[in-house]
Every structure is written in C-alpha cells, then in structure tokens.
C-alpha cells in the first residue's frame, strides 16, 4: 500500500471519529434540551387527600343524633375548555350537579382562568361528577394550552376536591340543647368543626378527627392516581363515636309532654330529668326550649338549663335538710314542733305556711309531708353551722355534679351562722342551686343512702367499631340506709296524703316533694319557679329518680303541686307504657 492510500484511510478514520464525537455532543445537547422541555409538560404527579371525619353521636337505641357530611368543590380552568364544546359542558354539568345552566354559564363567562362552580357538592354528587370528568376527557371537552408567560404546557380537566364538612342533626331539635352544636374552624386545607356546647363540646377531644389520609403518586390523563408500589400513603383516622344512655323514642315522648305543659302553663321553660337511681345513667334530659340552628334567635336556647340555670329551690330543700337532721341525730320523725297556726316570727321576719294544720303541734315527718315553712325554719336551728354546711355539700349542694356537660353553674350558699339564714335555707330560700344538683341529692333517698354522679354517655366506639364502656365514679355513702328508707317513706307519704297528690300513679311506688319559690326583682315578686322531685319504683327492681322544673309559669296553677307534679305523673305513665316500669297486679 502506498503512502497516498494510507493518508486517505487516516483521513476517513478521522472524519468518522469526528462524526462520532459530533453525534455524542449532539446527543448530550438534546438530553439537556429535552430535560428543559420536560419542565413545560403537564405534571405527571398527583396527590389525593381524604378528610378524616368527626365522630358520630348515637342514642341508646342506636339512632344517629349527629354525624358529619363531607362537602366538595368543583372547579375548572376556562382556558382548558374547548370553546366549541362549552355548551356541551354546561348542559351535562347542570344535569349532574343540579345547578341551572344559566348559573353555570354565568360563572364560566365571568372570568378567564380557574373558576369554582360549587363549594357544596355532597359525596354522592361528587362520585357522579368524577365519572363525568372522565367522560369529558374522552369527548375532548378539555384540551391543553400553553401559558404565554412561561411557555409551560398546562392541561386541566374538571377538578373535584373536598372543601369542608357539615354537621348533620337528622332529628332536628330533638335532644337539643343537650347534643349541643359545633362551629367552623379553618385547618388551612378544608373547613372542619369543633364542639362549642353540650355533648359536642364535652367530648370534643374524642369526636374530633385525628388524621387525614393522603396518596401521592403518578397520575393518568384523567388525573387519577395510579396505584402501584411507588405511591406514598397515610391512613385516614376518623374521630371516635359516642353512644349516650338516652333512648331517642323516650326522649321524644318526654319532650312532647313538656311542650304541651309549657303552652298550658304559659311557662318560660319546662325541664325534666329521668335518672336510673342505682347507676346515675340519664334516661332523659328534656326541655321545652329547643333549637334547630336556623337563626340567630336560636342562640338564646343553646344553654342546658338543667345545669346552667341557678335558682332558689324552695321547699324541695326540706327533705335534704331533714335527712341532715336525722344524720346528726337532731330529730326523730315523730318529734312534735309547734307551728303557731302557720305564722311565726324569726328575728325580724315573719314566716308563713300555705297549709293550715288542725293542731299547732305537728310531727317532724308531717312538716315535710305538708311542707311547713314554719316547722322547717325551727328544725333547722338544731343544726350548728359546720354540720349544716357539711351536710349540704355532702348532698352535692354548691358542688359540681360531675355530669358530662360543660358550663355547669354550681350555685352558692352564705355562712350558716345566723338563725334567720339557717331557717330560710331550711325551706329553700337564700341559696342558689342548679336543677341537676337536686336530682343527684334526691337520688340518695332512692339509692340506700349512696350518692352517684349523673352520666349521659355510655360508650366510646373506636374506628374499628369496638365499644369501650365509660366507667362509673365510686358511689359514696351520705346517709345510712336506714335514714334513706325513713326519708323515702316520708316522701311516699307526701304523695299519698300531702302536697304531691297529683304525682300519684297507680301500680307503682311514687314518692317526692313539691317546691315553689318566688322570683324577686327590685324587691317585688316577678314570678315563680315550681318543681317536683321524687322517684318511681316497681316490684321488679326498677328504680328511677325524676325531677320536673317549671320556670316562671304565668298560669294561676304556679304551685309545684299544681304544675310540676302532674308533669311528673305523665312522664311516669309513659315509662310504664314503654316498659321501663312494670305495674303491680
């Protein structure tokens, strides 16, 4: 081979080598360009977050009293909407969402860019609209466009995502204001709910959602995440459910009774409580004043006045003070007291009785049975101030009842040193209580002398459906069983021969005490609070403590014996009808 041939071969090899190098450089350059072009392509990643739900509140008979409903918002980018298929979009979206075609058209044409068509789509509608979104993609209703600012390629279809939650109360005003209410709180992503009153507030830490779920992964063209091993995921953890001890059907029956009597008595409010005597489980807390959250006027009805209304109790205090006297061995049931014809001066104050006795000398038991203020004011003097005060607090007066409700008011009592104040407290004036305190105190007489805390919630139900019983606080002996039986016998006599005649129910044992207290404003009587608190027992072992409070009845029948006692009777009759109490044969 000559030199010229070798030179040609070398030149060809150099050219080939140059071309290889050039191709490699071009390849690297193209990779660089492609990497930059890729940034302008639609994002192939997507995330999906599902909001954890607030827990449900259930009745004893398994009716849903409060539940959470998720809401969704629907949005589109009008720049991705094909103008030639806009009318098709409007027509189909209107059919699926229920919105009018005119409102959808107006929203789309109002502005260019991202437009929210609705914030309050429910979960069922959301599922239908997600199917519709895929249909829109197949029909080419949406297409990609290039952002003129940064030349990025953008593709947006119809987007359906969670916007917040709504609290649903299926039975409207039933069990209100006990269930309570919630208010919105902004978590940054969606609107959630926190409890502000009632059970919603007391058990807010249990009901509140714990953790939202999320998925992060590659998406397909319909914006649906592709489920594979590369996704990132977190589990959704909802709030716990609460089951209360109150049956919905019985609660509704009691509310209907109270509604009728509120109208009949022209009362400001009528309240009733039914409690199982041995456990403290609440069977009903009912009021004639309920709300449906429809207007600002309902705000005044959002207090649970069984624990939030303080008042002077009147003569329902007499059995409590009588029990303290028995405990301190300061009186016997057959001790005689001079009632001075129903009018007695204590210090500079005159005390009067409504009931006139045939004789001035009345037994201590009959002072309770016939509700003598004169007799009780004198008996109260036998207690020293320390024993008196301790006895009242042992019965729960001026103490929180420990019921599972917030905002409870505890009332007050002054120093029990003066004879006038001792006497007035003995027949229920000069101190303030809440109604549940009296229910708890009277329950001692029907529970062998033991005091128990009232309780509304029975179970906490976890996210796996397992029930966890809410325990009971230890019961505490306040008086001996013998003293409890003595007071119980006196209260039964008060119903059969005394002021509680209208509370009688044939076939069951009923005992209780009436109370009527004046409400004074500017030194003048402006109204009355009337009550009847007692118990209903049957021969099968069922024992219930029941109380009725009528706040400011305008009717002439304002005495507890005329207003509250008949309501007590009607509630007891309904309990017989529903099988809670069995009539003796």
Residue from 529, 535, 539 nearest 563 by CA: 529
Placement of tokens 């509608």 in the chain: 125
Tell me how long the chain is.
585
Lowest mean pLDDT among 15-19, 30-34, 231-235, 350-354: 30-34
Give the tens place of pLDDT for each residue, 384-409: 999 999 999 999 999 999 999 999 99
* Rounded percentage of the chain residues whose pLDDT exceeds 70: 86
Question: Closest Cα partner for 183 from 200, 161, 205, 202?
Answer: 200
- In 10 A of CB 299, how many CB atoms? 11
Please return the burial class of 408, using the count of CB atoms within 10 Å of its CB with bins 0-12, 13-18 and 19+: middle
The residue that leads in pLDDT, 508 or 191, is: 508
Closest Cα to residue 144, out of 256, 283, 40, 13?
Answer: 40
pLDDT at 148: 76
For the chain, what percent of residues have pLDDT higher than 90?
Answer: 68
Domains of the chain: 248-577 (3.40.710.10)
| Strand, helix or coil for residue 14 | helix
Residue 116 has pLDDT above 70, yes or no: yes
pLDDT in tens, 467-507: 999 999 999 999 999 999 999 999 999 999 999 999 999 99
Q: H helices within 98-221, ranges in order?
A: 101-110, 123-138, 198-202, 204-207
What does the block give as tokens for 155?
Answer: 């593709």
pLDDT over threshold 80, residue 327: yes
Supply φ then ψ for residue 323, to 5 degrees.
-65, -40
pLDDT digits (tens, 9 = 90+) for 38-56: 444 444 555 567 788 999 9
Whether the Cβ atoms of residue 218 and residue 225 lie closer than 8 Å to each other? yes
Residue 114: Cβ within 10 Å count: 13
Longest CA–CA separation in the chain, Å: 158
Q: Is the pLDDT confidence value at 448 over 80?
A: yes
DSSP classification of residue 303: S
3-class secondary structure per residue, 377-423:
HHHHCCCCHHHHHHHHHHCCCCCCCCCCCCCCCCCECCCCCCHHHHH
On whether the CB atoms of residues 131 and 142 are closer than 8 A, the answer is no
Q: Residue 237's pLDDT band (boundaries 50, 70, 90)?
A: confident
For the cut 80, the answer to whether the pLDDT of residue 564 exceeds it is yes
CA dist 463 and 241 (Å) reads 8
Q: Are the CB atoms for 442 and 280 separated by under 8 Å?
A: no
When pLDDT is cut at 50, 70 and 90, the band that residue 58 belongs to is very high
| DSSP bridge partners of 194 | 183
Within 10 angstroms of residue 116's Cβ, the number of other Cβ atoms is: 12
Report the alpha-carbon distance of residue 260 to residue 555 in Å, rounded.
14
Q: What's the confidence (pLDDT) of residue 352?
A: 94
Q: Give whole-number Cα distances, 48 to 176, 185, 219, 231, 342, in Å.
A: 37, 22, 10, 11, 79
pLDDT at 216 over 90: no
Backbone angles phi, psi at 584, to 5 degrees: -75, 150
Which sign, positive or negative, has the C-alpha torsion 149, 150, 154, 158? negative
Residues 6+ apart with CB under 8 A from 86: 108
Helix ranges (H only) for 221-310 are: 248-265, 305-308
Of 129, 159, 151, 130, the C-alpha closest to 46 is: 159
What span, in angstroms and rounded, lies between the C-alpha atoms of 514 and 532?
A: 4
Q: pLDDT: is 491 or 165 the higher one?
A: 491
Number of C-alpha atoms within 13 angstroms, CB side, residue 35? 6
Three-state secondary structure call for residue 502: helix
Q: What is the pLDDT of residue 13?
A: 63
Contact (CB, 8 A) for 250 and 258: no
Highest mean pLDDT among 29-43, 153-167, 564-578: 564-578
pLDDT of residue 11: 64
- What is this structure's pTM? 0.84
* Region of poorest pLDDT, from 3-7, 335-339, 340-344: 3-7
pLDDT tier at 12, thresholds 50, 70, 90: low
Are the CB atoms for 27 and 19 separated by under 8 Å? no
Rounded to 5 degrees, what are φ and ψ at 523?
A: 80, 0
Lowest mean pLDDT among 36-45, 171-180, 426-435, 527-536: 36-45
């Amino acid at each position: 081979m000559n030199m010229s041939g070798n030179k040609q071969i070398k030149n060809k090899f150099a050219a080939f080598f140059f071309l290889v190098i050039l191709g490699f450089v071009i390849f690297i350059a193209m990779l660089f360009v492609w990497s930059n072009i890729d940034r302008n392509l639609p994002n192939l990643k997507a995330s999906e977050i599902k909001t954890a739900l607030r827990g449900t509140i259930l009745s004893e008979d398994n009716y849903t009293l409060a539940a959470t409903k998720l809401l969704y918002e629907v949005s589109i980018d009008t720049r991705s909407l094909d103008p030639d298929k806009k009318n098709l979009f409007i027509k189909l979206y209107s059919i699926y969402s229920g919105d009018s075609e005119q409102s959808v058209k107006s929203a789309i044409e109002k502005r260019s860019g991202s437009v929210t068509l609705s914030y309050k789509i429910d979960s069922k509608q959301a599922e239908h609209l997600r199917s519709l979104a895929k249909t829109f993609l197949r029909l080419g209703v949406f297409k990609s466009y290039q952002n003129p600012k940064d030349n990025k390629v953008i593709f947006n279809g119809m987007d359906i995502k969670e916007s917040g939650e709504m609290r649903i109360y299926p039975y409207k005003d039933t069990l209100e204001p006990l269930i309570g209410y919630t208010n919105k709180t902004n978590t940054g992503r969606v609107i959630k709910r926190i409890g502000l009153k009632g059970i919603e507030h007391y058990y807010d830490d249990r009901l509140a959602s714990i953790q939202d779920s999320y998925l992060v992964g590659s998406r397909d063209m319909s914006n649906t995440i592709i489920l594979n091993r590369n996704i990132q995921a977190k589990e959704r953890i909802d709030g716990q459910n609460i089951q209360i001890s109150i049956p919905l059907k019985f609660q509704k029956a009691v509310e209907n009774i109270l509604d009728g009597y509120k109208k009949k008595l022209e009362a400001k409010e009528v309240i009733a409580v039914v409690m199982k005597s041995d456990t403290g489980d609440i069977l009903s807390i009912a009021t004639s004043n309920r709300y449906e959250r429809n207007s600002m006027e309902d705000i005044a009805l959002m207090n649970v006045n069984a624990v939030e209304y303080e008042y002077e109790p009147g003569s329902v205090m007499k059995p409590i003070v009588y029990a303290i006297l028995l405990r301190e061995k300061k009186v016997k049931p057959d001790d005689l007291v001079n009632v001075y014809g129903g009018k007695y001066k204590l210090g500079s104050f005159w005390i009067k009785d409504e009931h006139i006795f045939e004789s001035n000398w009345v037994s201590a038991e009959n002072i309770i049975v016939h509700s003598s203020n004169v007799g009780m004011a004198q008996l109260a003097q036998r207690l020293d101030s320390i024993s008196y005060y301790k006895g009242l607090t042992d019965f729960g007066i001026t103490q929180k009842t420990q019921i599972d409700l917030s905002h409870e008011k505890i009332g007050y009592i002054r120093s029990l040193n003066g004879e006038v104040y001792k006497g007035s407290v003995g027949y229920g004036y000069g101190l303030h209580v809440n109604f549940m305190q009296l229910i708890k105190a009277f329950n001692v007489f029907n529970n062998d002398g033991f005091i128990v805390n009232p309780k509304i919630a029975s179970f906490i139900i976890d996210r796996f459906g397992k029930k966890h019983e809410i325990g009971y606080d230890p019961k505490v002996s306040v008086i001996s069983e013998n003293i409890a039986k003595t007071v119980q016998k006196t209260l039964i006599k008060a119903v059969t021969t005394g002021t509680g005649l209208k509370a009688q129910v044939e076939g069951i044992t009923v005992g209780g005490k009436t109370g009527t207290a004046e409400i004074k404003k500017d030194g003048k009587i402006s109204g009355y609070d009337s009550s009847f608190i007692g118990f209903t027992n049957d021969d099968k072992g069922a024992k219930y403590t029941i109380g009725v409070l009528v706040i400011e009845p305008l009717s002439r029948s304002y005495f507890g014996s005329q207003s509250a006692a008949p309501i007590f009777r009607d509630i007891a009759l309904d309990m017989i009808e529903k099988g809670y109490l069995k009539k003796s044969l």
